[in-house]
Structure 1
Amino acid sequence: MFDSLSDRLNRVLKKVSGKGRITEDNIKTTLREVRMALLEADVALPVVKDFITKIKYRALGKEVKSSLTPGQAFIKIVNDEMVKAMGAANETLELKAKPPAVVMMAGLQGAGKTTSTAKLARYLIEREKKSVMVVSADVYRPAAIAQLERVASEVGAEFFPSQADQKPVDIAKSAIAAAKKGFADVLILDTAGRLAVDEEMMDEIKALHAAVNPAETLFVVDSMTGQDAANTAQAFDEALPLTGVILTKADGDARGGAALSIRHITGKPIKFIGMGEKLDALEPFHPDRIASRILGMGDMLSLIEEVERKVDKDKAEKLAKKVIKGKGFDLEDFREQLVQMKNMGGLTSMMDKLPGMGNIPQAAKDQMNDKATVHMEAIINSMTPKERAFPDMIKGSRKKRIADGSGTDIQAVNRLLKQFKQMQKMMKKMRGKGGMMKMMRGLQGMMPPGGGLPPMGR
């Protein structure tokens, strides 16, 4: 996420981090490079100007001059101003209206409204413990109604059926009545994609908004459109009283222009950010955490929350007890760790949240990717239960059979067995006095280019 902006800013700020004194002259080049990095990330010009002006004003003030580490104080200012530009803090949904609280989804075609409707439903069901009904008022694209029905069943939301020959206002009113009857806490209304310049379509959504009086009107926008996302949101806000923004496809956005521009231009908070295609890949937008990730400082809070939510605690506890008792760590345990990691969005997603990942060479990062973990899981799946329990028996012909069965080659099987051996040695270090410290030291030796994966247990 926002890789190119992150890499560029990290290179720029590294030059200033060790400076013993900050003056207008010695930060001139730094500020120019920060400005260029933001413009190349497609951040809107007014946002860049305001951002640079505020950094310069604070950098030449007392807080930096009186600091014992002026370079670090300057980086903190960049971080603070980036957080402010994106909205200072996460703003939650306002759902205290008399049930059902209606959430209207608006936006352009192809922005990901229908998928975001399902993701938001899942978020509210799993994390907010709400009962959720969803309905599609997209009468121009019958496939959207079928799509919403399918994804609603996947996330456990109740689906209210609609037809392409109905009027959107009638669909919405019928859905509200059904939600009341079924005691749903929230009704999410998916609407048709439309352009702000299409007067007829904008009049339709205005009438729909007036008819349902939603508690939240969320603008769903593709983050890869950069500052155009902010401009489009502003155009919609002039027609509809938007309460917030859902930024989609952020996992594929290397720039970050939309995230840094929307709040400044529209005055509307980004409430959620879509981080992948899976229906659980929607996260509350925390400006401080996003700024931390952009500046290469990681996002440990989000990582910890994800571990709490997605790691199977019973399995982790069972593995920890098994290792501590000295019963060994076999390939079945290793496979389970890969599955747990996949449940958390994969290795790439985890790396994105770890501090200091920007300092790891690109060649090392390339070795630590989700494709490699998929291959590793496939290799273990191609083994017999006995081979997983006793890896030492995997020789010559067995390796070839496993490679053929997993669609890999013998070299890949050898690599996995080597990484497993490293993991096994590390697990042995957990036993006895000071086991955890020994294990942490072992982890350092498992970082690329040597290869290896940390466990997802305790």
Structure 2
Amino acid sequence: MFENLQDKLDRAFKVLKGQGSITEINVAETMKEIRKALLDADVNYKTAKAFTDEVREKAIGQNVLTAVSPGQLLTKLMNDELANLMGGTVQELNISSNPTIILIAGLNGAGKTTFSGKLANFLATQKNKKPLLVAGDVYRPAAIDQLEVLGSQINIPVYTDRESKDPVGIAKAGIAEAKKNGQNVVIIDTAGRLAIDEEMMNEIAEVKANTNPHEILFVVDAMTGQDAVNTAKAFNDRLDFTGVVLTKLDGDTRGGAALSIKSVVNKPIKFIGTGEKMEALDVFYPDRMASRILGMGDVVSLVERAQMQFDEKEAAELQKKIRKNKFDFNDFLSQIQQIKKMGNMKDLMGMIPGVGKAIKDVDIDDNAFTPIESIIRSMTPHERENPDAINQSRRLRIAKGSGTDLAEVNKLIKQFEDMRKVMKQFSNPAAAAKMMKGMPKMPFGR
């Protein structure tokens, strides 16, 4: 995400490269380039101008420390102002009521139904809530089916009434059902249209009036850029929603919606969707997103995603196995599956500082692990538990069974053995310290 904007901001910062101080002239030139970059990213013109005026005002007259270049100082100012532009601080959901009622609104194709499922999954797995999904879209033929399929995937109940064409009645009956069954969050998926129309606005306003929701989340496709912002404004004028959800952000290389929407509607972005999987939903942190836009990564989010997938007890057991050199292909397969659950691979690597820019032109296939998984699954249980037992004839059989060739099998086993040796060394603090001591000095500062 935001690759085009990152490239253009990099070029803008080069204006200050080699400059000994920040002056009105070089800052004005840099801000002109940054404003162009923001407009190219489909950021609202007033937002782009106000933003660059604010950064210029703060930059001029700043004393540049000898240890910090003008470019670095401006990057810091940009980071702070970008975070402010997108809301400044994270805005959590209001889920204190019992039941909490959340109304989902937006146009057709924005991803409302998918987001409803993701939100239910997030609340159940991360917030220890008992959600109920309510199928309130009575117009789109597959909407009820889609919500039921999503509900079954994540083990969340779905309230439906296929005979009714009354979205208000369905929403009220869903809330009554939740109260009866002890569910403490009700997520109401509503109908969208292909464009904003009066009938749709009246209908969703009526659902709001009859359900008194604690949260109204407006779901918008980030890839529609400035159109997304205009749609958000039209909905907010009628609904006064409490927060925005940006979907398909992983496919948005520009970023205009994320940067403009808060300043235009004055409502926080609460969630971002970054893929089709039910786990591909992130709470929106303005400061972390600002760092990613400037190519500085987002290690905190990367660690949080890892913590969601890796069980502490399982990790402790794995550490014991590594110490005893018992790490096997079953463990390796389990680790791969947990990494895959963390999300899109390119998105994950982009969270590592410096890596995002390096891989921007590299196509990283989410199916890259498939051949490895096929090879491991073609092994017998004995071979997975005892990698050293895999001789040449077994390797030939594994290659044939996995649809790969002998060279790929040999390469995987060699990489596995090397990895196991390193893991074994680092599991012993004394050995790890000795190994690190023996490494050549890194040429920092050259």
Q: Does 1:322 align with 2:321?
A: yes
Q: Which residue of 2 aligns with 1:336?
A: 334
Any idea what SS the aligned residue of 1:371 has?
coil
Any idea what SS the aligned residue of 1:26 has?
helix
Any idea what SS the aligned residue of 2:367 has?
helix
Q: Which residue of 1 aligns with 2:376?
A: 380
Change (3 A) 1:173 1:329: closer
For 1:398-456, what per-residue CA distance to the aligned partner results, in whole angstroms no more than 9, with x for missing partners?
44443343333344334323322331231232254444557889999xxxxxxxxxxxx
| Alpha-carbon separation, structure 2, partners of 1:438 and 1:344 | 34
Q: Which residue of 1 aligns with 2:343?
A: 345
Q: CA deviation at 1:361?
A: 5.6
| Alpha-carbon separation, structure 2, partners of 1:14 and 1:154 | 49
Q: Which residue of 2 aligns with 1:41?
A: 41
Contact 1:59 1:77 in 2 (8 A): yes
| Alpha-carbon separation, structure 2, partners of 1:154 and 1:45 | 43
Q: Which residue of 2 aligns with 1:454?
A: none
Any idea what SS the aligned residue of 1:217 has?
strand
* Deviating more after overlay: 386-395 vs 226-235: 386-395
| Alpha-carbon separation, structure 2, partners of 1:281 and 1:371 | 16
Q: CA deviation at 1:6?
A: 2.6
Matches within 5 A, 1:41-440: 41-62=41-62, 64-65=63-64, 68-69=67-68, 70-97=70-97, 99-163=98-162, 165-194=164-193, 197-325=196-324, 327-345=325-343, 347-360=345-358, 366=363, 369-391=365-387, 394=390, 398-436=394-432
Change (3 A) 1:180 1:388: closer
For 1:55-93, what per-residue CA distance to the aligned partner results, in whole angstroms no more than 9, with x for missing partners?
11111133x446752332111011011101111011111
Output the TM-score relative to the length of structure 1: 0.87
Change (3 A) 1:429 1:190: same
* Deviating more after overlay: 402-411 vs 349-358: 402-411
| Alpha-carbon separation, structure 2, partners of 1:208 and 1:263 | 25
Number of equivalences: 439
Output the TM-score relative to the length of structure 2: 0.90
Paired residue type of 1:343: K
> Which structure 1 residue ranges, 5 or more long, are not aligned?
445-458
For 1:310-342, what per-residue CA distance to the aligned partner results, in whole angstroms no more than 9, with x for missing partners?
1133332222112223x2443333323212211
| Alpha-carbon separation, structure 2, partners of 1:156 and 1:192 | 23
| Alpha-carbon separation, structure 2, partners of 1:92 and 1:267 | 16
| Alpha-carbon separation, structure 1, partners of 2:281 and 2:20 | 42
Contact 1:135 1:160 in 2 (8 A): yes
**Identical-residue share of aligned pairs (%):** 49
| Alpha-carbon separation, structure 2, partners of 1:282 and 1:321 | 33
| Alpha-carbon separation, structure 2, partners of 1:416 and 1:373 | 11
For 1:80-129, what per-residue CA distance to the aligned partner results, in whole angstroms no more than 9, with x for missing partners?
111011110111112334x3221110100011111111111111122222
Contact 1:20 1:71 in 2 (8 A): no
Any idea what SS the aligned residue of 1:21 has?
coil
> Which structure 2 residue ranges, 5 or more long, are not aligned?
441-446
Change (3 A) 1:213 1:316: same
Contact 1:137 1:191 in 2 (8 A): yes
Paired residue type of 1:236: F
| Alpha-carbon separation, structure 2, partners of 1:331 and 1:181 | 47
Contact 1:108 1:221 in 2 (8 A): yes
